[in-house]
Amino acid sequence: MQSLLSLEIIGDGEQRKMIETWIRDHKLEDQIILHGWQKNVDHFLHTWDIFSLSSLWEGLPCAVVEARLARLPVVAYDVGGISEIIKNGENGYLVKPGDWRGLSDRLFDLIHEQSLYQKCTEYDDRLDPFYRETMVQEHLKLYRSFLEKNK
């Protein structure tokens, strides 16, 4: 019998061997997929229902912006600039860093409460500053201002 839920992990690290062993020992090879490092995650985002980020240190992660541009609810630790994008209970959830149980609980809520899930997917994010064209123009303005100051 195939599970309706699956977990796909992008990234890699020192614990990969341990995670692979845990997956194998618990016979979860069909439910948990380790993709390793990926250059382009856009393909993955459009096949997922929820995005989660459990990093303990971040600035403003592009992955969270990309997930919201794909209209995915986001569950993440409240670190760095993530709160600039994620509005707790509106387009996802922010959890105290290291609170893996809280992270799990919020994921559970999104999976089992359709109205909450829909609310998060329909949230009207104000992501205009993060569109590629806008970012390029803003960087150009910044570089020009530096050039003007150094004349």
Question: What would you report as the CA-atom Rg of the chain, rounded to the nearest whole angstrom?
Answer: 18
Domain 51-149 is found in CATH 3.40.50.2000 = yes
Residue 127: per-residue pLDDT: 80
Residue 1: per-residue pLDDT: 38
Residue 3: per-residue pLDDT: 53
Calpha distance 85→126 (Å, rounded): 8
Q: Pairing mode, if any, of strands 32-36 and 92-95?
A: unpaired
H helix or E strand, kind and range, residue 75: strand 74-77
* Interval 71-117: pLDDT, tens: 999 999 999 999 999 999 999 999 999 999 999 999 999 999 999 99
Give the whole-number percent of the chain exceeding pLDDT 70. 95
* Interval 31-67: pLDDT, tens: 999 999 988 888 898 899 999 999 888 887 888 988 9
* Bridge partners (DSSP) listed for residue 95: 77
Q: What predicted TM-score, i.e. pTM, was given to this entire model?
A: 0.78
Calpha distance 122→10 (Å, rounded): 25
Calpha distance 136→62 (Å, rounded): 15
User: 84: closest CA among 62, 102, 51, 99?
Assistant: 62
Ordered by start, the domain boundaries in the chain are: 1-39, 51-149
CA distances from 6 to 32, 61, 89, 95 (A): 6, 23, 23, 21
